[in-house]
Amino acid sequence: MGARRWRNTGTQRRLDKERGAAITTQPASTNAGSAAKGETRFCMKRAFVFPGQGSQAVGMGRVLAATFAPARQVFAEVDDALSQDLAKLMFEGPESDLTLTENTQPALMAASLAVMRVLEAEGGFALARKVAFVAGHSLGEYSALAAAGSITIGDGAHLLRLRGQAMQEAVPVGEGAMAALLGLDVEQGRAVAAEAAGPDQVCAVANDNAPGQVVVSGHRQAVERAVAIARANGARKSIALPVSAPFHSPLMAPAAEIMAEALGRVALQPPAVPLVANVSAIATHDPATIRRGLVEQVTAMVRWRESMLFLKQAGVEEVVEIGTGRVLTGLAKRIDPALSARAVGTPTEIESLIKEL
């Protein structure tokens, strides 16, 4: 078990080395083709980001479906792919079923892609012309890839259903846990996790979300020790998270193997714009690199803070969260207050964005 823990660390060291020379440059402003002759129109350089687990809520997508036919079409496509009335579960609950990770994951993708479809149908929006990068938090990476045309909606739904099932089944219920360590940076979080881990117990940093917001994951007893150690070492707050499995830890290795096999059967296309990957915090168009990253992210840390800093360094001026909730909007503002961030998930928010594009 200890060897698995260090395999994850080795992956991150490799990715750290790759990151140094990987800034993708695109102009922050262009002459828009629709501008009047002789007029220069400024185009803000944007990134679209897609939320992960924790953003779900009963009622998600219901107003979009009631308002826009293209949104209803997306929900119908996901329902058909899964042979399940997932839309009804999203709109009406019960919450206990919606929060099952095998349902949560495709549901969040469906909500995000419904927003994208409405932007395209109602506003003539084209991702490749208006957005510089996409990124997604954990499962949101699949939403980002579907939005960018790298995978189909049907494949995304199937993969996320399988991902949720495989992650839940990787560790017996009750053996794993996750906890948020507030007030510690990622290096402090790694030190806490290393001290908390035992010879046969894993504890690793699962999410580097923002300055002062680190999540650890692993065996329940090791995570409980991490909470106590963090509190004794100056953490402002350390709290156990209400999750069903120790996501983004080496304990998820069986799920990673299942996803490697499943992803090997899916045709990934180069995305319309570069994906900033969770595992590397750098941008890529390459389907093979994307496929490898989707497998590695099951057991690896989500490098969200670094991903947002990458976007800022690459000239992005605004981060737009597409889908349900405002979690990523809040994180972006904590990571860099100078980085503009907004959430787009309601008809009013969609209308406002369309007017600016």
The distance from CA 76 to its chain's CA centroid, rounded to whole angstroms, is 23
Which residues have CB under 8 Å from 207's CB, separation 6+? 138, 213, 214, 215, 248, 301, 302, 304
Active site residue 83: no
Active site residue 138: yes
Residue with tokens 């990673």: 256
Rg (CA), the chain: 20
Considering the candidates 137, 158, 219, 248, report the single residue annotated as catalytic: 248
* CA–CA separation, 165 and 330 (whole Å): 29
Contact present, 135 and 47 (Cβ < 8 Å) = yes
* CA–CA separation, 287 and 282 (whole Å): 14
Q: DSSP 3-state assignment of 136? A: strand
Instruction: Compute the Cα dihedral for 83, 87, 92, 94 and give only its sign.
Output: positive
Distances (CA, A) of 179 to 127, 153, 187, 278, 329: 36, 32, 16, 19, 21
Considering the candidates 55, 112, 138, 238, report the single residue annotated as catalytic: 138
| Helix residue ranges per DSSP H, the chain | 2-19, 62-67, 69-82, 86-92, 95-98, 101-123, 127-130, 140-147, 153-169, 186-196, 220-232, 253-264, 287-296, 304-313, 327-335, 347-356
* Residues identified as active-site: 138, 248
